[in-house]
């Protein structure tokens, strides 16, 4: 490739933790060169008058109305616990 940017395929493979054979390096080097050329084209695009955004489309929280619903009685909720005491679930101590 005439305009292929300089890069070290061995270094890129090491960063990606890939153990490439000589044949794979020969196959992937031109492909990676084309990818880098494309990113250089993107870098040439004038974005001076483009407002930075976190998302391409506006994002809105979609929340449902908070409506009361049937809940478990305490004894039903604790019935599935491996251990309980005084109406509470007993768990192993995690802080010494």
Q: Each residue of 59-92: pLDDT tens digit? A: 888 888 888 888 888 888 899 899 999 989 999 8
Q: Does residue 1 carry a pLDDT above 60?
A: no
| CA separation, residue 92 to residues 24, 56, 95, 96 (Å) | 52, 46, 9, 11
Alpha carbons 47 and 45: distance in angstroms, whole number? 6
C-alpha dihedral (61, 64, 65, 71), degrees to nearest 10: -130
Strands 88-89 and 84-85: antiparallel
């Amino acid at each position: 490739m005439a305009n292929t940017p300089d890069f070290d395929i061995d270094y890129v493979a090491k960063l990606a933790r890939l153990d490439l054979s000589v044949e794979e390096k020969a196959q992937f080097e031109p492909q990676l060169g084309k990818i880098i050329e494309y990113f250089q084209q993107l870098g040439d695009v004038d974005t001076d008058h483009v407002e930075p955004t976190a998302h391409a489309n506006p994002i809105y929280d979609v929340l449902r109305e908070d409506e009361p619903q049937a809940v478990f009685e305490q004894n039903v909720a604790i019935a599935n616990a491996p251990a309980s005491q005084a109406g509470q679930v007993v768990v192993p101590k995690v802080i010494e």
